[in-house]
Amino acid sequence: MRVDTPSTGDDLLAEGPEEDQLQAAVAAAESVLADRFGSPITLTDPEDLAGSGPAVVVRVRVASSPFSLPKTLVVKHYRRQSAFATEAASYQLFTALTSEERMCPEPIGHDKTRGVLVLSDLGLAPTLEDKLHQRDARAAERALLSWSRALGRVHATTARREADFNALLRRLGGTPSCDDEAQAAVAAQLPAVLQDVLGVSTSDTVREQVSAALARVQAATFRAFSPVDLSPENNLVTSSGVRFLDFEHGQVRNALLDVAHMRVPFAFWQGALALPAGMSEAMIAGWRAEVVSVWPRLADESVFSEALLDCQLMCVWQQTHRELPGLAASVNGAQASSRPAALVSWWQELSKQAAFAGADDLADHAGAVAAGLDERFGPGLEFAPYPAFA
Beta carbons of 313 and 321 less than 8 angstroms apart: no
Query: Residue 180: what pLDDT?
Result: 84
Quick one: three-class SS letters along the chain?
A: CCCCCCCCHHHECCCCCHHHHHHHHHHHHHHHHHHHHCCCCEEEEEEECCCCCCEEEEEEEEEECCCCCCCEEEEEEECEHHHHHHHHHHHHHCCCCCCCCCCCCCEEEEECCCCEEEEECCCCCCEHHHHHHCCCHHHHHHHHHHHHHHHHHHHHHHCCCHHHHHHHHHHCCCCCCCCHHHHHHHHHHHHHHHHHHHCCCCCHHHHHHHHHHHHHHCCCCCEEEECCCCCHHHEEEECCEEEECCCCCCEEEECHHHHHHHHCCCCCCCCCCECCCCHHHHHHHHHHHHHCCCCHHHHCHHHHHHHHHHHHHHHHHHHHHHHHHHHHHHCCCCCCCCHHHHHHHHHHHHHHHHHHCCCHHHHHHHHHHHHHHHHHHCCCCCCCECHHHC
Task: Say how many residues make up the chain.
Answer: 390
Mean pLDDT (the chain, rounded): 91
Cα separation, 43 vs 40, whole angstroms: 10
- Dump pLDDT digits (tens) for 285-308: 999 999 999 999 999 999 999 999
Q: Is the per-residue pLDDT at 88 higher than 70?
A: yes
Give whole-number Cα distances, 212 to 187, 292, 356, in Å: 10, 24, 18
Q: At residue 134, what is the residue type?
A: Q
Give Cβ neighbours of residue 26 (< 8 Å, ≥ 6 apart): 43, 44, 46, 58, 60, 75
- Dump pLDDT digits (tens) for 40-53: 999 999 999 986 67
Delineate the domains of the chain, giving CATH numbers in brackets: 9-120 (3.30.200.20), 128-389 (3.90.1200)
Over range 7-23, report the average pLDDT: 56
Query: Residue 178: what pLDDT?
Result: 83
pTM for the full predicted model: 0.91
- Dump pLDDT digits (tens) for 328-360: 988 554 555 589 999 999 999 999 999 999 999
Beta carbons of 284 and 301 less than 8 angstroms apart: no
Over range 128-146, report the average pLDDT: 98
CA dihedral 188, 192, 193, 196 (to 10 degrees): 180
Name the residue among 121, 112, 120 with its Cα closest to residue 35: 112
Name the residue among 126, 321, 84 with its Cα closest to residue 92: 84
Query: Residue 9: what pLDDT?
Result: 36
More confident residue, 20 or 273: 273
Query: Residue 331: what pLDDT?
Result: 58
Beta carbons of 128 and 144 less than 8 angstroms apart: yes
Query: Residue 14: what pLDDT?
Result: 40
Over range 228-243, report the average pLDDT: 93
Over range 75-79, report the average pLDDT: 92
pLDDT classification of 225: cutoffs 50, 70, 90: very high
pLDDT classification of 3: cutoffs 50, 70, 90: very low
- Percentage of the chain with pLDDT > 90? 80
- Dump pLDDT digits (tens) for 247-257: 999 999 999 99
More confident residue, 118 or 66: 118
Query: Residue 332: what pLDDT?
Result: 55
Q: Is the per-residue pLDDT at 7 higher than 60?
A: no
